[in-house]
Structure 1
Amino acid sequence: MSNIPPFKGMGKKALPFLKALGFHQDRDWFKENKALYESEVKVPLGDLIEHVSARMEAEGLPLRGTRKTSLYRVNRDVRFSKNKDPYNTHASALLTRTGTKKDQGFAYVHMSNERSFVATGFYGLASAELAAMRAAIVANHAKLQTMLDGFQTQGLAFDFSESLKRNPRGFEKLDDEALQKLVRLKHHHFVREMDNKDITTPKIADALLELTHITLPFLEFGWAAIDPVREEEALKNAT
């Protein structure tokens, strides 16, 4: 463990800064306080990701990240949003197999005054990938249900709030109610809520590691479903 970068927690002023940023959605204010953002939010978040990435490698988990590739920017993309506030009032980062934020099958950390949590799974899959995930769920329902039942004993379950009202295309004739619930999901991920007092401690790193260990079987299930689709798409783009 001696070669693993240390992580003591986010800065004590991280959440107060993000709260103040919500009141001061102003580029001049942010410029004046950028050093505080760097020292209390960005640098500790980078430390967290590189600490967790190193521990994942040591513990045989396939997800990776760096402070350069994994952190989401504080600047908001306002091009297609009615909300033109220039800055996010949360801090977040993503670890994936490739170490980039464009990959699927992730471990994610999110911190804000309103809500802090860690998450794993698949979110916003492309349509062909989502269809492949749904087909895998139908084909392997018994195996998946056993897995999900095990997660349930540890307080983890899918969030069904973002679900279709009807069966998706290709699954119209599916009449098993349990399967219907699973294939109607738009996203397949698990969330563990964090107490905000714990983000300034190493507990947030431990929680992200623990959640990834628990849900790795589902990440592997999802990768087995979507990787052939991604490989086929990559071949098409190469020709």
Structure 2
Amino acid sequence: MKSLSKSILDYLIDLKQNNNREWFTENKSRFEKEQKEIKSFFNGVKNELNKIDNIEKLQIFRIYRDVRFSKDKTPYKTHFSAGYVRQKPFLRGGYYLHIENNASFVGGGFWEPNKDDLLRIRKELAIDASELRDIVESADFKKYFGILEGEELKTAPRDFDKNHPNIDLIRKKQYLVTRRFTNKEVLSPNFEEEVVATFKAMRPFFNYMSDVLSTDLNGISLY
């Protein structure tokens, strides 16, 4: 199991305080050193995750911000992050790992489901949400994530009853889970193990959503 060096967080702290191209260029060798270590860590997580899942792609996000449509013109992100894409079409849901001073977390789920997938999920929940409720109310889910998160509509989506008993789940636009980590936890020798264990705890939720999104309302496979 790999562990992370304190120098990674130190670099991100300094970058946040000096978020400009001049400082970044002057400290390019330092960035390259920390980037090499974090990439190695992200790949190590992928290797461990592939022992319990099928990962189609590791996406390591660039540190450069897209400022074209943002009021915040600082050029660099102050975190390192990566996404782990599961093998489609049968395996749905994505894993996300975010390393930032005092703001590190592991996340997963359905950030921007397309309109067809979102409608399919909502229709399933309108018929029966008991399986999903059992998952999010389980002791293991609460231990790692607490609650099911995500943005939601203020009222019912079109063609759904606002008084439906499952409207709290139906009106969601995102279905997400998150576990946050302190700096001490991030730098601990077993951090990689904890990350993978957290991803593993998402599996019942992912398995449910995968079953829903790979079948029609009669439970017949779409593929």
Q: What band does the TM-score fall into relative to the shorter chain?
A: 0.7 to 0.9
TM superposition shift of 1:94: 0.7
Among 197, 204, 213, the residue aligned to 1:226: 213
* Structure 1 residue 35 corresponds to structure 2 residue 23: no
CA distance in 2, matches of 1:104, 1:119: 14
TM-score for both structures, normalised by structure 1: 0.79
| Residue 19 of structure 1 pairs with residue 13 of structure 2 | yes
- Tell me, what secondary structure is at the counterpart of 2:47? helix
1:60-102 deviations in Å (ceiling 9; x for gaps)? 3223544xxx211100011111111110011111111149xxx
Report which of the two has the higher share of helix. 1
Cα 1:64–1:48, aligned 2, differ >3 Å: closer, same or farther? farther
Q: Is the 8 A contact 1:120 1:211 kept in 2?
A: no
Root-mean-square deviation (CA, aligned residues, Å) is 2.5
C-alpha offsets along residues 163-213 of structure 1, whole Å, 9 cap, x if unaligned?
211111232x14234x11111222111111111122223433222211222
TM-score (norm 2): 0.84
SS of the residue aligned with 1:96?
strand
1:114-158 alpha-carbon deviations (Å, 9 max, x no partner): 411111211111222222222222233111111111144424221
Give percent identity, aligned residues only.
26
1:76 aligned counterpart, secondary structure: coil
Partner residue, 1:232 = none
Change (3 A) 1:205 1:170: farther
> Quick one: which of 139, 145, 148 aligns to 2:136?
148
Aligned residue runs from structure 1 range 67-106, under 5 A: 70-98=59-87, 105-106=93-94
Q: Is the 8 A contact 2:108 2:202 kept in 1?
A: yes
- The residue aligned with 1:235 is none
Q: Which secondary structure state, in structure 1, belongs to the residue aligned with residue 109 of structure 2?
A: strand
Residue 48 (structure 1) aligned with residue 36 (structure 2)? no
**Alignment check: 8 A CA contact 2:126 2:164 kept:** no
Pick from 117, 136, 142 the counterpart of residue 129 of structure 1: 117
Q: 1:98 to 1:16 in 2, by over 3 A?
A: same
The partner residue of 1:183 within 170, 179, 188 is: 170
Unpaired runs of 5+ in structure 2? Answer: 217-223
The amino acid that maps onto 1:184 is R
Higher mean C-alpha deviation, range 48-57 or range 77-86? 48-57
- State the distance in 2 between where 1:221 and 1:33 align: 46
Q: If each structure's strand is expressed as a fraction of its own residues, which one has the higher value?
A: 2
Q: Where does structure 1 lack aligned partners over 5 or more consecutive residues?
A: 1-5, 230-239
Q: Secondary structure at the match of 1:205?
A: helix
Greater RCO structure (CA 8 Å; 6+ sep): 2
For 2:12, give the aligned amino acid: L
Structure-2 residue corresponding to 1:110: 98
